[in-house]
Amino acid sequence: MLPQDSFGYKKEPALIGVTEGVIMGARAWALLLVLCGTIFLEGADIAMLAVAIPSIRSDLGLSTGTAAWVISAYVLGYAGFTLLGGRAADLLGRRRMFLTWLGVFLVFSGLGGFATEGWMLIVARFVTGVAAAFMTPAAMSIITTSYAEGPARNKALLVFAGTSAGGFSLGLVIGGLLTELGWQWVFFAPVLFAAVILAAAVRLIPAPVSVPEPGAEYAAEAPARPRSGGFDLPGAAAAAGAMLLLAYGVVSLEHGLDDWPLTAATVTAGLLLVAAFVGIERRAAVPLVRLGIFRTGTVVRAGLGALLFLGAFMGFQFVLTLYLQELRGWSSWQTAIALVVMGCDVVLAPTLTPLLVNRYGHARVILAGFLLAATAYALFLPVGMDWTYAAMFPTLILAGTAFALAYGPLLIAATDCVAEEEQGLAGGLLQTATQFGAAIGISAVTAVYGLASAGGGGGAHGNAGDPEGSLDAFRAALTVPVVLAVLGVVVSLAGLRGGGRKAQPAARSHESGSTFSAAATSASASAARDAR
């Protein structure tokens, strides 16, 4: 029988020996490049559309509410199905889910470019968000099951996290350029990029490999290990329904408080479905979500931390964009260039953050990230009507650095000490938290801005005729990111007291060859990990 490397590839005899580390290193880097490509695509896709919305609204004659739902539909699909997407990766196969939903992402992104009505765009964006909800947790779980636990996996996750934010930051610039050519290119460009990723993924992501019977020459390729008892359809339906209703309730706050009875009823229905989901999972022979995972402290704290951090980050970025464009009159292109500095995490996440995590542990680095974020947002509270870019720069660079310090280590914490067969679930829980965090952050700053405006209508333009009044409303809205970041500091301190451990080096056998090379995990190590 031919031995296999840590990614499930069967090694040819000629590749075993002195060249093994080089070959494994090349494969590991190539695999990571493909997976990071998808998270870059997702971040850039969101940012490009945000820049292009004014042009889309003008060209298609969309109302303000319809234009807002073009953005919100993606969040609704993403947040509503991420938990189900993460578990589907575990149960139905990570490679299968990744490739299938990357294809769906590609198709519906392209269809968005051909839209001639607002409802077409909303449907296309909703399905694209659903595709991302299945694709992203699958990509994350492929990383956590393909790279050895320890420095190799940590660095891979940090690169993955940095690429995500980098995609968003660069997407603002790319979106500004493409919108000049025509807003349709904001949809067509991701199609081209996704097609390249899909072609590479088919080749690089290994098919699942079953354990061979004694005496068999090769390990046969097989689908993900089936689970007895079938798929938990009632649990899946309850989970998807609950997440959709809760996401709809949160997103509805962005569009004003006029329909608050409907919003309250939607959230109440969502909470009732959550209770029903818990009851279903307790009785299910093979539950969709093993409720015991919520007793893993790092998983819960990482999820809450991600919700607070992304809520603060996205809320601040939303207010900042309104301040620059609505109050200061900057163009979308000028705004995009100004925000590029926040993408410094693309450089810091794979270089500085791994060193800090290895030396101090992810819990301390997460705390440092939240402290930096709180400082950055607080520095912007006294923003004036005539602030120069130099006055804004300290906040922007600190916010980008905070992202590099906090987000990647949160990914590590979310998947630390989680059994391999639940890595997709852990990733899905984290991505659900990040999407709800982003929606809550934007909704909260929008609501506070509306209440602080003279009109009090909850809209982003509620006080456009009074610059000083608008500035006061912006300052009030900026308190939301500060409060969320301070709450994140409290959660991080609890994690530090709860035993956030310093990252331990991988076994010596993992240190040879590429940084990302991982020796095949022994049966005893797997058993020990599963027992934790």
**One-letter-per-residue 3-state SS of 138-180:** HHHHHHHHHCCCCHHHHHHHHHHHHHHHHHHHHHHHHHHHHHH
Q: Which residue has the tokens 């990914």?
A: 411
Of residues 335 and 368, more confidently modeled: 368
Q: Of 116-120, 271-275, 340-344, give the lowest mean pLDDT range.
A: 340-344
Indicate if 290-455+468-497 has the same CATH topology as 24-206. yes
- With 0-12 / 13-18 / 19 or more C-beta atoms within 10 angstroms meaning exposed / middle / buried, residue 514 is middle
Choice among 73-82, 190-199, 249-258, 503-512 with the minimum mean pLDDT: 503-512
pLDDT in tens, 452-465: 875 544 444 445 45
Topology of domain 24-206, CATH = Growth Hormone; Chain: A; (1.20.1250)
Among 24-38, 202-216, 437-451, which is the least confidently predicted range? 202-216
Tokens 């995009």 sit at which residue?
336
- For position 19, what pLDDT does the model report? 28
pLDDT band (50, 70, 90) for residue 499: low
- Structure tokens of 365? 């680095």
Residue 321 pLDDT greater than 90, yes or no: no
Burial of 69 (0-12, 13-18, 19+ CB in 10 A): buried
Mean pLDDT for 365-385 is 95
Give the residue extent of every domain in the chain.
Answer: 24-206, 290-455+468-497
> Given the structure tokens 């280590």, which residue do they identify?
409
What pLDDT shows up at residue 350? Answer: 82
Instruction: Determine the average pLDDT of the residues in 399-407.
Output: 92
Task: Provide the token pair at 19.
Answer: 């060249």
Extract the tokens encoding 367.
Answer: 């705390």
Region of 507 (left: φ > 0; alpha: ψ -120 to 50; beta: rest) is: beta
Q: What is the pTM of this model?
A: 0.76
- Whether the per-residue pLDDT at 195 is higher than 90: the answer is yes
Token reading at 249: 């309730």
Query: Is residue 239 within a helix (H) or strand (E), and if so which, with residue range?
Result: helix 233-252
Chain position carrying tokens 């077409």: 120
Range in 234-243, 337-346, 366-375, 520-529 with the lowest mean pLDDT: 520-529
- Give the pLDDT score at 518: 33
Tell me the C-alpha distance between 63 and 47, whole Å.
21
Q: Is the pLDDT of residue 356 over 60?
A: yes
Q: What percent of the chain has pLDDT over 90?
A: 28
The stretch 6-18 carries a mean pLDDT of 32
Give the burial class of 417: count Cβ atoms within 10 A of its Cβ; 0-12 exposed, 13-18 middle, 19 or more buried: middle
For the chain, what is the radius of gyration of the CA atoms? 23
- The CATH number that domain 290-455+468-497 falls under is 1.20.1250.20
Predicted confidence band at 200 (pLDDT cuts at 50, 70, 90)?
A: very high
Q: Of 419 and 126, which is predicted with more confidence? A: 126
How does pLDDT run across 281-312, given as a tens digit for each residue? 888 887 878 888 887 768 889 999 999 999 99
- List 4's β-bridge partners, or say none: 10
Alpha-carbon gap, residue 180 to 183, rounded angstroms:
7
DSSP state of 514: S
Whether the per-residue pLDDT at 198 is higher than 50: the answer is: yes
Q: How confident is the model at residue 231 (pLDDT cuts 50, 70, 90)?
A: low
User: What Å distances lie between residue 123 and 41, 299, 441, CA to CA?
Assistant: 19, 33, 24
Stronger pLDDT, 53 or 490, i.e. the higher one: 490
Higher-pLDDT residue of 520 and 494 is 494
